[in-house]
Amino acid sequence: MQFWQSTGDLPKYFARAAARYDRIPGHMYAIEVEGLKKVFGNVEAVAGIDLIVSEGEMFGFLGPNGAGKSTTTKILTTLLRPTAGTARVAGFDIVTHPHEVRLSIGVALQEAGLDTLATGREMLVLLARLQGLRGGQPHKRAAAMLDLVGLSDAADRRLGTYSGGMRRRLDLAGALIHGPKLLFLDEPTTGLDPASRHAIWEEVARLNREEGITVFLTTQYLEEADRLAERVAIIDHGRIVALGSPTELKSEIAADILTLAVPEESMDVAKEALTRLPGLKEIQSDTKELTLFVTGGSSAIASAVRLLHEVDVTVGSVKLSSPTLDEVFLRATGSRLEGAEQQQAETDGKKRGRKEAS
């Protein structure tokens, strides 16, 4: 059982961050979502989401595989109809005014299918025409966007020769071709090497900062959400489990994180013994590790080791750290997001199969 369930303090804990963003009457929001749901057969992919994104904001939507990030993005970009709930994007209702929504937004989807024989420039010209640009405009905009994302030199090469990072940059250029003020990016850096990931981060941050573009970005990377987003919604099983700025979310934990490696067979004894630790706020365990939310910092290390020694449990390793978004996720859901990241390689294969089939 999770500790907070027994104390019942979770809703209060995150409600504070959410409450600070209650709707202000008359204010223009880039995105307003109320009670949004999407059901596929017996899977509730999005299970009732409420959120508000202000104009000019960089908003992160962080969650593990299958959390409902892409489904939410597709609904907000009018590619899927919600089962229930409402959403307004750029001031337009997504169900009654999908056309206006589409003209106002740029979208780079997770599974964009690129024609590998076309060149980067041809692709962008085509997208510009599809967006209704005419005359010399498509070529002009394509050149400007290629320049913007640093692809001018590769503009006339076939997409088949582009690296993963170059393709994601082209996705970004495509999403920006008609000059939208609101950009939806679904996992813009998944599968990229660290250098390409950093390059995309810089580009997205610059678009937000210098061009004032509102960004709704989904990610399963803690670091990405932490570095880029002004506010983050953490989503799990179709529900928002935490909402606030990364700093707020971490500081609301108001504790240090003590991680202890303990042999599997001693886990229960260890956990029981550690409930007597001074300053303990919460304790979570998996098969190999105990995570303790404690106040009192380094003095907790000595106390914890002593308590374990008293019950004959040997500690493998001890680590004291400040909370990250992973601990925010852990506290809200009882599992870590980082483990989910490691499984990603395997799930990616399966996922692709599923998405092609659907």
Ligand X SMILES: Nc1ncnc2c1ncn2[C@@H]1O[C@H](COP(=O)(O)OP(=O)(O)OP(=O)(O)O)[C@@H](O)[C@H]1O
Only segment of 68-76, 97-105, 248-256, 272-280 that touches ligand X (CB under 6 A): 68-76
Torsional sign, CA 64, 67, 73, 79: positive
Return the one option of Mg ion, ligand X, none that residue 63 interacts with (CB less than 5 to 8 A, by type). ligand X
DSSP three-state, residue 201: helix
Residue with structure tokens 């008359």?
Answer: 26
314 strand-pairing partners:
none
Q: Is 220 in the site for ligand X (CB under 6 A)?
A: yes
Return the one option of Mg ion, ligand X, none that residue 219 interacts with (CB less than 5 to 8 A, by type). none
Given the complex with ligand X, which of 33 and 154 has the nearer CB atom?
33
Return the one option of ligand X, Mg ion, none that residue 351 interacts with (CB less than 5 to 8 A, by type). ligand X
Contacts of 202 (CB under 8 A, 6+ apart): none
Given the complex with ligand X, which of 111 and 310 has the nearer CB atom?
111
Cα 179 to its chain centre, rounded Å, is 24
Q: Is 328 in the site for ligand X (CB under 6 A)?
A: no
Question: Of 54, 65, 86, 335, which lies in the binding site for ligand X, with binding defined by CB under 6 A?
Answer: 65
Q: Is 291 in the site for ligand X (CB under 6 A)?
A: no
- Residues between 87 and 106 with contacts to ligand X, criterion CB under 6 A: none
Given the complex with Mg ion, which of 68 and 180 has the nearer CB atom?
68
Q: Which residue is nearest to Mg ion (CB)?
A: 70
Given the complex with ligand X, which of 103 and 109 has the nearer CB atom?
109
Contacts of 11 (CB under 8 A, 6+ apart): none
Q: How far is the CB of 264 from Mg ion (least distance, A)?
A: 33
DSSP three-state, residue 159: helix
Question: What secondary structure letter does DSSP report for 80?
Answer: S
Binding site for Mg ion (CB under 5 A): 69-70, 110
d(CA 339, CA 342): 5
Q: How far is the CB of 193 from ligand X (least distance, A)?
A: 19
d(CA 279, CA 331): 17
Q: How far is the CB of 67 from ligand X (least distance, A)?
A: 4
Only segment of 3-11, 38-46, 144-152, 243-251 that touches ligand X (CB under 6 A): 38-46
Beta strands in 94-221 (DSSP E): 105-108, 182-186, 214-219
d(CA 208, CA 187): 17
Question: Of 13, 29, 58, 71, which lies in the binding site for ligand X, with binding defined by CB under 6 A?
Answer: 71
The site for ligand X, by CB under 6 A, has a size of 15
DSSP three-state, residue 312: coil
Q: Under a CB-based contact definition with an 8 Å cutoff, are residues 321 and 259 in contact?
A: yes
Q: Is 111 in the site for ligand X (CB under 6 A)?
A: no
Given the complex with ligand X, which of 70 and 78 has the nearer CB atom?
70
Q: Is 70 in the site for ligand X (CB under 6 A)?
A: yes
Return the one option of ligand X, Mg ion, none that residue 311 interacts with (CB less than 5 to 8 A, by type). none
Question: Of 17, 36, 63, 149, which lies in the binding site for ligand X, with binding defined by CB under 6 A?
Answer: 63
Question: What secondary structure letter does DSSP report for 67?
Answer: S
Q: Which helix (H) or strand (E) segment is 202 a member of?
A: helix 194-210
* N residues, the chain: 358
Given the complex with ligand X, which of 49 and 183 has the nearer CB atom?
49
Closest CA to 107 of 242, 213, 247, 236: 213
Q: Is 37 in the site for ligand X (CB under 6 A)?
A: no
Q: Under a CB-based contact definition with an 8 Å cutoff, are residues 248 and 17 in contact?
A: yes
Given the complex with Mg ion, which of 207 and 217 has the nearer CB atom?
217
Residue with structure tokens 């400040």?
Answer: 322
Q: State the binding string over 292-311 for ligand X (x if CB under 6 A, else -).
A: --------------------
Q: Is 214 in the site for ligand X (CB under 6 A)?
A: no
DSSP three-state, residue 10: helix
- The residues binding ligand X (CB under 6 A) are 40, 43, 45, 63, 65-71, 110, 220, 351, 358
